[in-house]
Amino acid sequence: MRREIEVKLPVHDARAVRRRLAEMGFRQVARRSLERNALFDFRGRRLRKAGSLLRLRLERGRSLLTFKGPRVGAGRFKERPEIEAGVSDGDETARMLEALGLRVAFRYEKYRTLYRRREDPGHTEAAFDETPIGIYLELEGPRAWIDKVARGLGYRQRDYITASYGRLYLGWCEAHGRTPGDMLFPATGREGARGA
């Protein structure tokens, strides 16, 4: 099982962060696209209580099913086991999960643009995520690589965010006096955070 290591960084000036990524040699490898995510769980939120999640993601005309296990350690990085598999039909996969007793517990959307550097080792990427509650840069890769890239972008370790988008959304709702629902863009015509 692959182990995912990542942090999120708050983006206050999108243009400056993109410019700095380019200066550091990052190139866009996947253009900006809308991701629709659904987290599935059993009644009673058994997966969430165990610190795990099961996500079905629809993006760029493809579907991806992801399982993430409980977080490993409590350091400055978010580290957890991860299994991902492409599925040919997202709707049928959702029906299959529901037939197994799972239900959609939370939906969230984001526009993601992916950046990579040719010289970086293994699975490393910088994901520029535009969400209904703000913009974040997600760095995924080895710990030393994350620290080096974050420093190069002008961030410090105290800026690292290890919370999920679901947790960030709950915090945003509390800070803005909103009732939590799903984290969706208003343009979709569905429930979500307004005025982010």
For residue range 17-75, list pLDDT tens digits in order.
999 999 999 999 999 999 999 999 999 999 999 999 999 999 988 999 999 999 998 78
CB neighbour burial string for 177-191, b if at least 16 within 10 angstroms, e if fewer:
ebeeebbbbeeeeee
For residue range 61-105, list pLDDT tens digits in order.
899 999 999 999 878 999 999 999 999 999 999 999 999 999 999
Query: Residue 193: pLDDT band by 50, 70, 90 thresholds?
Result: very low
Question: Which residues are 171's β-sheet partners?
Answer: none
pLDDT at 188 over 60: no
pLDDT at 195 over 90: no
Q: What is the pTM of this model?
A: 0.90
109 closest CA partner among 134, 138, 132 = 132
Question: Cα separation of 188 and 50, whole Å?
Answer: 32
Contact status, residue 161 vs residue 142, Cβ threshold 8 Å: no
Determine the 3-state secondary structure of 12 from DSSP: coil
Domains contained in the chain, CATH given: 2-188 (2.40.320.10)
2 closest CA partner among 78, 88, 69 = 69
